[in-house]
Amino acid sequence: MAKKRKNKNRTKKGYFHLVVIYFTLLCLIAVGIGLGVKSLFNKFAIDLPSPTELVNYEISLPSKVYDCRGKLIHTFAKEKRVLITYDELPQSVIDAIVSTEDVNFYSHFGIDIKGTLRAALKNIRRGSASQGASTLTQQLARNLFLSHERSYIRKLKEAMVTFLIEDEFSKEEIMEIYFNKVYLGDGVYGLGRASKYYFGKALVDLSIGESATLIGMLQRPNYFDPRDRPVRTINRRNTVLWRMYKTGTISKKVYHQEMALPLVCADKETQDLNSYYLYYIGNKLVNKYSKKALYEEGLSIHLSLDWDLSLYADTLLSNQLDKLEEKMGYKIRYSDYEKRVSDIQTPYLQGGLLILDAHSGHVKAMIGGRNFKHSKLNRIMQSRRQVGSAIKPVLYTAALENGYTASTVIRDDTLKIKMWGYDKIPHLEDAPDSLLAIPSYVDSLKKLERKYLYYPKNYSKKVGGYMTLRHALKHSYNVFAMKTMYDIGKKTVSAKSDKFGIKVPPYYSSALGTSELKPIDIITAYTTFPNQGKRVKPIFIEKVFDKHGNLLEEPTTENIQVCEPDVAYLMSDILKSVTKPGGTAGSSFSNKEDYRWESAGKTGTTDDYKDAWFIGMNGKYVCGIWTGFDNYSPIPKDTLGVQFDSLNFKIDGMGHGMGGGSTCAPIASRIMGRLIVNDNNGEIPPANDSRYSFQKPIDVVEVWIDRTTGFRSLKATNRMKEVFTTRFPLPPYQRPGIKYNFPPLYSYDDPNPFIVEELNN
């Protein structure tokens, strides 16, 4: 009995407490009306918005990102929102909100006295404050300018701001602001965004039931989540429909029809596949304008990105890496990891890609890895990797400027490099006979000497003999490249690399791509060749406008002269051999269904197959692809001998290994083909379209040469047409006693020369 009396006492106290609350509120309202809002406003003015703030209040706007075709692809938003006007609100939404939240909205002055009294009486009868009485204007005042603390002072301020809002804005304006500001769960703000997010529709296309669902969510957005909690959301929707029926805004027939319909939501939006690109430009914009500007001030950002191409390239790259992992039998694969986990170590095979317009610098695609959530490391923009033979066009550009031509001949044979410090160690030839009689001493000297000797080898592990520069680059012979560097000088090559925008130290090993470079730098260096000898700086963002449409930035193309146009064309023409039959990427460009236009490029593979590259180009675009492991692990030896068909990635036969020609080039041809089709709005231009051909300067001529000797030829056999510039002497005809068209300063036709590598030479 004592317990029962205690509960009764609590109930009485609850009634008394509610009576006090509502009596006080009514008194405050009466005081506000009787004494005037002005006197109360003066008392609390320090914390309340001024009329100017009310009129000029702006809701934070997301910045919208568009691709090169004007397609909206992303928004940077503090609050995900799409602004709407009152005229865009369907009648079903207006009816639902008024019927459910504020039935006297169009007749009260901000505070519904009748509704407040009715709610107070109901709560007193029930003994709890379950019945709300806030009008839409009160809710707006609270959400815009006030906190959600529970106190009489806050209630008083809310009433005062409510009066100010009603005085400054029409009912239509209040409802417009309300629907743009309101929160609807999962980071979604505003009804315009919510209709698209939950139902995949514009506001005007919402059904009565869908309108009721969104209005029902306002009470508790996360609790009434239509995707995660459909049953309770349907019940809440039906409650809103019932209130609409009771207020006469829908008929009984419509009420029952809408109640019977299932709740169907649009698929949940997934993360952007191009997050590496968006993350990169987002950081650039924050650094230039501010985080607030990007997330709240409604910028319009127009990218050079081709969204369709980027999705296509991402799919091809991902599929290729999946196939490689499966066929090579890697123990750790991408498929072993949940796709949604964030910021983890990624020991699986990685890849990256960059495509840009060689003339404008516009970046059409940039993929920094296989999964942005797994790892935000942008392997195109941030990583430094050895580039292997992809460096050779830089070396041979310097050679073409220093007396070499495409028909210059060097013997590709065994080569030994004395590394720096070789002359400072003891050698067998200098040792006394007494020590040479000690086997252990002799063995130790031999081991020490081997540490200071480097024997560069070709990818095939075979020597090629006498060959032209074109042949050497087509088949990527390493000894030829290193002898060329020795001939023209390490410093000459290093200085030329600076012009290309990359830093290659003056070491002979640099001729084989041992320097670690950022992928974006080596790929951008190739824009020199189709762009008349000028390297272009990449442009990711084409234009930025503020919310009023004023242009904030429009980057202009910036070119850096690397070499003369004729040299650039000669290099491009030589690189065409790489993508022709017999070249290291020839099989990948043999399928004319994938790619039919002019093409050139270079593969690259580093020691132990740690990195594989292909950088391809035509007369307009450059496409670079890299694959490897983040931890610089060598690609396992048991992966050697696999070659992929360029169309369907099936095993075609045994090859030399996981080089750039078998890993990267097969998808490059298909991506570049799609790029050209996109460039022509889905049409396939003719194979001889001049936009995608390398433009020959007027001082470039074609001359018949002997394929073997490199000399000019009058014979009808064993000859080919070769390109030369008239700025330099053309190759001579063969003379007695001279077998090959050697370089002008060539003086070491010894089959096994020693080359001394000096640190400061």
Highest mean pLDDT: which range of 363-372, 603-612, 749-758? 363-372
Predicted confidence (pLDDT) per residue in 508-548, tens digit: 889 999 999 999 999 999 999 999 999 999 999 999 999 99
**Helix (H) and strand (E) counts for the chain?**
25, 23
pLDDT at 8: 43
Residue 536 pairs with which residues in a beta bridge?
559
pLDDT at 84: 86
pLDDT at 4: 39
Q: Higher pLDDT residue, 302 or 324?
A: 302
Highest mean pLDDT: which range of 26-40, 249-263, 736-750? 249-263
Predicted confidence (pLDDT) per residue in 147-169, tens digit: 555 556 667 777 777 888 888 88
pLDDT at 125 over 50: yes
pLDDT at 654: 19
pLDDT at 9: 47
Predicted confidence (pLDDT) per residue in 427-485, tens digit: 777 888 888 888 888 888 888 888 888 888 887 788 888 999 999 999 999 999 999 99
At residue 659 the predicted structure's pLDDT band, cuts being 50, 70 and 90, is confident
Residue 357 pairs with which residues in a beta bridge?
621
pLDDT at 12: 47
Q: Higher pLDDT residue, 242 or 739?
A: 242
pLDDT at 760 over 50: no
Highest mean pLDDT: which range of 9-23, 333-347, 519-533? 519-533
pLDDT at 25: 61
Rg of the chain in Å (alpha carbons): 37
Highest mean pLDDT: which range of 227-236, 417-426, 456-465? 227-236
Is the Cβ–Cβ distance between 323 and 658 less than 8 Å?
A: no
Q: DSSP characters for 156-187? A: HHHHHHHHHHHHHS-HHHHHHHHHHH-B-STT
Is the Cβ–Cβ distance between 761 and 420 less than 8 Å?
A: no
pLDDT at 644 over 70: no
Instruction: Give 130's DSSP letter.
Output: -
pLDDT at 417 over 90: no
Predicted confidence (pLDDT) per residue in 170-196, tens digit: 899 889 888 888 889 888 888 998 998
Residue with tokens 């390297």: 535
Highest mean pLDDT: which range of 4-18, 110-124, 318-332? 318-332
pLDDT at 623: 98
pLDDT at 7: 45
Describe the crossing of helices 230-246 and 208-217 by its angle, rounded to 10 degrees. 110
At residue 33 the predicted structure's pLDDT band, cuts being 50, 70 and 90, is low
At residue 655 the predicted structure's pLDDT band, cuts being 50, 70 and 90, is very low
Instruction: Give 74's DSSP letter.
Output: E
- pTM equals 0.78
Selection from 393, 399, 398, 389 nearest residue 742 by Cα: 399
Instruction: Give 117's DSSP letter.
Output: H
At residue 45 the predicted structure's pLDDT band, cuts being 50, 70 and 90, is low
List, in order of start, the domains of the chain with CATH numbers.
2-35+79-260 (1.10.3810.10), 305-387+515-539+556-693 (3.40.710.10), 391-415+455-514+698-761 (no CATH)
Lowest model confidence (mean pLDDT) among 77-81, 279-283, 322-326, 345-349:
77-81
Share of residues in the chain with pLDDT > 90 (%): 53
At residue 61 the predicted structure's pLDDT band, cuts being 50, 70 and 90, is confident
C-alpha 622/C-alpha 138 separation (Å) is 59
Lowest model confidence (mean pLDDT) among 12-26, 382-396, 606-620:
12-26
For 689, the token pair is: 């379209």
Q: DSSP characters for 215-249? A: HHHTSSTTTT-TTT-HHHHHHHHHHHHHHHHHTTS
At residue 198 the predicted structure's pLDDT band, cuts being 50, 70 and 90, is very high
Determine the 3-state secondary structure of 620 from DSSP: coil
pLDDT at 320: 94
pLDDT at 394 over 80: yes
pLDDT at 678: 94
Q: Higher pLDDT residue, 77 or 679?
A: 679
pLDDT at 576: 97
pLDDT at 431: 81
Q: Letter for the amino acid at 130?
A: S
Label the pairing between strands 300-303 and 754-756. unpaired
At residue 32 the predicted structure's pLDDT band, cuts being 50, 70 and 90, is low
The chain-wide mean pLDDT, for the chain, equals 84
Share of residues in the chain with pLDDT > 70 (%): 82
Residue with tokens 């022509």: 680
For 711, the token pair is: 């000399």
112, burial (CB in 10 Å: exposed 0-12, middle 13-18, buried 19+) = buried
Sign of the C-alpha dihedral computed for residues 266, 270, 274 and 275 taken in this order: positive
Classify 307 in phi/psi space as left (phi over 0), alpha (psi -120 to 50) or beta.
alpha
Q: Residue 747: CA atoms inside 13 Å, Cβ hemisphere, count?
A: 2
H or E element at residue 575:
helix 565-576
Predicted confidence (pLDDT) per residue in 701-718, tens digit: 999 999 999 999 988 789
pLDDT at 50: 61
Instruction: Give 433's DSSP letter.
Output: H
Highest mean pLDDT: which range of 266-270, 479-483, 631-635, 740-744? 479-483
CB atoms within 10 A of CB 303: 25
Residues 605-614: what's their mean pLDDT? 89
pLDDT at 157: 73
C-alpha 125/C-alpha 123 separation (Å) is 5
Instruction: Give 635's DSSP letter.
Output: P
C-alpha 148/C-alpha 151 separation (Å) is 9
Residues 283-298: what's their mean pLDDT? 93
Residue 724 pairs with which residues in a beta bridge?
701
For 638, the token pair is: 């048991």
Residues 364-393: what's their mean pLDDT? 95
Q: DSSP characters for 381-422? A: TT--EE-GGGGHHHHHHHHHTTT--TT-EEEE---EEE-TTG
pLDDT at 127 over 80: no
pLDDT at 567 over 60: yes
